Amino acid sequence: MLENKEEAVITFSRWMENERKSHLTVRQYCFFANLFMEFHAKRLEEVTPDDIENFKEYLVKERKYSKSSQYLCTKALRLLYKSFRINPPYNLTAPKRPRSVPKYLSEKETARLIQAASKSPKNLAIVSVLAYTGIRVGELCRLNIHDVDLDERIMSIRHGKGDKDRIVILSEECSNALSSYFKSRNRLNIDNDSLFISRKMSRYDPTSIQRLVKKLSLEAGISKNVTPHILRHTFATSIMRNGANLKFIQEILGHSTLATTQIYVHIDDGAMKSMYEKHKPTYR
């Protein structure tokens, strides 16, 4: 383990990049690693179980971390230990995260968002890809022109979460939006393979896409805090309500396990109401 904390974080960052972790993950995990090493001011191999308990208490009482934040922090620290090939203390474990219901937009709200985006071919293409494919914002930012096949109406997602490739289907609406965007993009004669190009003529980063979606949602008069991930939940919820099975949803969203996909079972209130009406008790 390196003596210098700053050097240790830099080494950790490079290790994660080599492991193809997303830019957001690298930034978040480096923050937690820095926080952890500042707190105990020890080499990793010198940290004791008592130090871990003190740090856990610090996260709860001083930083007011939720269980979800504690979980993410612990995940980062376990990866930090792994990167230096050091076994972590036995009690570096995370609390169980609350099983919250994902937030999503109604179909009318999504339609309004798409309408707000339609003033710009690029904005419409970005929102359409998010709303009609359910891909992650990081995956959208990494898309290149050759990843899109409008003739076959498919899109290749390369190096998705877990470094897995997959194919997503493009709806007619999404394909049309991309086709219009390509026409406007080609007129700029951009020497860049990135599918979506910012005003600075460079690849978008996730934060910029998040700001764009937020801006368009406000223009659409949507009071909810709309993010690209909300659109991912919206897509999954919509296709489940339309009869898609869990295995298909798992594949198209790029979930590593079916357990992750099962959260959408609990938000299909239409199916729940139908099932309730069929099986409700009759007290006579």
To the query of whether residue 14 is one of the catalytic residues in this protein, the response is no
Is residue 45 domain-shared with residue 139, that is, in the same domain? no
Instruction: Tell me the torsion sign for CA atoms 220, 223, 227, 228.
Output: negative
Please give the model's pTM, rounded to 2 decimal places: 0.68
* 161 carries an active-site annotation: yes
Q: How many domains does the chain have?
A: 2
Determine, yes or no, domain membership for 35. Answer: yes
Q: Which domain holds residue 66?
A: 5-83
How confident is the model over 228-251, as pLDDT tens digits? 999 988 888 888 787 777 777 777
What pLDDT does 22 receive? Answer: 79
Domain membership of residue 128 (yes or no) is yes
- On whether both 71 and 157 belong to a single domain, the answer is no
CA distance 5 to 14: 14
Q: Note every long-range contact of 267-271, with CB atoms under 8 Å and residues 24 or more positions apart, other chains counting.
A: 267/101, 267/102, 267/104, 267/237, 268/237, 268/240, 268/241, 270/241, 271/241
Q: Give the DSSP H/E element, type plus range, for residue 40.
A: helix 23-40
Tell me the per-residue pLDDT of 19-29, one tens digit each, with 9 for 90 and over. Answer: 888 788 899 99
Please state which of the ranges 6-15, 76-85, 98-107 shows the lowest mean pLDDT: 98-107
Contacts of 31 (CB under 8 A, 6+ apart): none
For residues 265 and 54, the model is more confident at 54
Residue 139's CB: how many other CB atoms inside 10 A?
A: 26
The CATH number given to whatever domain includes residue 46 is: 1.10.150.130
Same domain, 256 and 181: yes
Is residue 82 annotated as part of the catalytic site, yes or no? no
SS3 label, residue 164: coil
Mean pLDDT of 119-124: 96
- Per-residue pLDDT band for 271 (boundaries 50, 70, 90) equals low
Query: Distance between CA atoms of 145 and 202, rounded to whole angstroms?
Result: 14
Catalytic residue among 21, 142, 229, 233: 229
> Which pLDDT score is estimated for 82?
94
Per annotation, catalytic residue among 56, 136, 185, 233:
136
User: Is residue 225 in some structural domain?
Assistant: yes
Please pick, among 112, 185, 232, 233, the residue that the annotation labels catalytic.
232
Q: Are 168 and 155 in contact (CB under 8 A)?
A: yes
How much is the pLDDT for 261? 61
Same domain, 69 and 161: no
How far is C-alpha 146 from the geometric centre of its chain's CA atoms? 23
The residue from 161, 166, 203, 214 that is catalytic is 161
Catalytic residue among 56, 122, 233, 255, which?
255
Active-site residue flag, 23:
no
| Same-domain pairing of 121 and 259 | yes
Question: Do 115 and 203 reside in the same domain of the chain?
Answer: yes
The answer to whether residues 113 and 59 belong to one domain is: no
Q: Which amino acid is at 169?
A: I
- pLDDT on residue 38: 92
pLDDT 10s digits, 176-208:
999 999 998 888 777 788 999 988 888 999 999
Q: What is the pLDDT of residue 259?
A: 60
Q: Which DSSP string corresponds to 215-283? A: HHHHHTT--S---HHHHHHHHHHHHHHTT--HHHHHHHHT-SSHHHHGGGGGG-HHHHHHHHHHH----
33 domain-assigned: yes
